[in-house]
A and B are shown apart, each in its own frame.
Chain A
Amino acid sequence: MTLLAQPRWPGAVGRSLGSVALVLVLWHLMALSVAGSYMLAGPVAVGQYLAENHVLIGRALWVTVQNAGWGFLAGNLAAIVLALIVALVPQSRMLVSAVALVVFCLPLVATGPVLRVLYGPGPGPQITLAALSVYFTTFIPLLVGLRAAPGNWFDMIRLYGRGTWSAFVHVRIMAAMPYLMAGLQVAAPAAFLGAMVGEFTGAERGLGVLTLRAMRGLDVEATWAIALVAASVSMLAYGAIGLLADRISPARPEILLATGTTPPRGPLALRALRGLTLVLATGAVLVGLWWLAMEVFALSRFFAKRPDDIWRYLVTAANAEAHRATLWAASQATLVQVVPGYLAGLGFGAGLALLLALAPVLAGAVLPLAIALRSVPIVATAPLIVLALGRGPVGTITIVAVMTFFPALVACIHGLRQAPGQALDLMRLYATNPLARLWHAQLPAMLPAFFAAARLSVPAAILAVTVAEWLATGRGLGALMAMTASTSDYNLLWSAILVVACGSALGYGLVGLVERAVLARVAPEQLRR
């Protein structure tokens, strides 16, 4: 500990303790006001539950932490390998990203049961799901980080007659370090979430198992206690990685958020053709991987459906039309909940960030809280929201909105801080009113961060809605997948997985198109490199 850092400690600790105390008091008051309604367990009741069941909870927590940890390692390793492939073979960027995206969009709710059948009762599915839920959020920032270095650094490498490899070792890897750390930080709670969803699918031990049991038994204290434990552990992991990041890479290069490297050039027809080629190539690679995975492990055709099974089921079979109708109805039910929730979450997140930009003092107080809440695994809070808002559409939409709200808020606050200081000074010099400052300088600075959050929120929103449908409402694709998994209707299950993955990837792509169009106007420098 250096002398310089010391004086900050008492203040920071005091403030943290203060906010914790404030949250506890508010929580207690809320619990008092709704006492007896089976919605909210107060801090006293939760504390009591934890004290009485600390052995049980402790054991379950240890199991979940282990699963999440292995998944965290495997997923991030995969992300690093993918990013290195793209960095060394830049031509592969679009294809690798697209394939990675679709795999990331596989609905955990459905892949969980399938993996359960494949792996049996062990920790395999939990670890795989944890890995699946982290690799993309590390891959994307790492991809950006590997190209986020000033051109002069590369000129220097070339000047000494060195090539791609030296640039890689001496510049790119180190320049990407802060981005990797940011990715790892977000990955910590995501891994926890993935492990818990894996445990929902019929594990024998773990916090997910306890959550499911508590929800079925309407055990409000237990539900809240487990959510609290899951949230605290996630926040701790998030904070610990943040501290580590400050240690490892104190020097932060400029922040880039957009993933696009080369802006699309040439006539529209050519661009459309290139897009179509990419979609077809991605589809071909995915179908190939899918088929290969099934054949290499010689998985039974009964539950491990091949691409041609699904083609038959959805297109050539006698009652294919009925199958498609079932899927379409479920998709519609899901869409009407996920779209409003997604937009509301983004809108409120960005809106609150803008409001806070007008009152910077408040922003300083809200940001730590928002970062803390962002690290809470949504699955842990979903049961609470269901308890509070019921099993109707309001509850589901709220879960989706909460899932997208915090990432949007945090990203937008960070984005607003990127507004160039000299531009703001110039406006102050002319006594421009705060709204005009917001519009002309701060909003354009916020948009790249906003869109980065919006893109990654698409799969997150789909995850949230399918989990909510599965656990609570009994409608839509989430419920369909849960039901078909338990009735062994694997053709329909795989079809639903296909629909959800393609739908998410499509949504991600659409947001990306909007992002390009908007950033090309307000922040072309983000798209340049």
Chain B
Amino acid sequence: MSWPAVFEAELLRLGLQPRRARQLSTETVQQAAEHASAPADIFGPAHLYARHLVSELTVTAPVPMRTTGPVLLRLTGVGKRYRRQNVFHDVSLTVRGGEVAAIVGANGCGKSTLLRICAGLTRPTSGTVERTRRVGLVPQDGGTAGWLTAEEHFRLFGAAAGMARPRAASTGDHLAARLAWRPRRDQRVQQLSGGTRQKLNLVLGELHSPDLLLLDEPYQGFDQGAYLDFWQQVFAWRDAGRAIVVVTHLLHDLANVDHVLDLSS
């Protein structure tokens, strides 16, 4: 594909209207021509410049004052013992609507266990957990079925949350599109790549629009673009007043989160 074609395709993928994408692509070629150069020489790789341009054009809106909402998750003095071994003890964390918390720490320090405790799937040995009623959990190895399609998953999980079938399917498609994924009707989950399966997990976790989202390293297998889409999505949830808890081992993720809980300390 030519530079303008790649550029335009990436703009579309990032959610620009087709007309606007075409216009920007035409203009960018003309701008390069002003310098008597090829677009690649002035702007670098097409897909990277497309992302740069979109982020430059979207930061202009004044940042709204962020206000935090009610407490949606509160851990007080939570501990877990497993076979007489302390996995962790005396963990406290309060997350309000409009906040993002990150759980970090070395492998085996109990990050996933703590997330399951947050979700109410595992009982802590000590301490108390208070949480809102509507919770979405995205586990690391999601409870998906390889022989079903994405749409069948949307309906199945939607039914469990009391959603009507068509609504579950269209909501699923819509949420998938935000992660730059268009599920195919004839494709079973076992045929999806690891990264796409992770996107399915994310969509399923959000399908019933929970107030509290618990995510366990939900970007394994994502490429760089999908990874950025994922964090944009997290901040969109946050700005919509939800509370998000993310288990992560990537330290550069932590710049924009509100709370960091280090389990290894």
- Tell whether A pairs with B: no
Which B residues lie at the A interface, using CB under 8 A?
Answer: none
Which A residues lie at the B interface, using CB under 8 A?
Answer: none
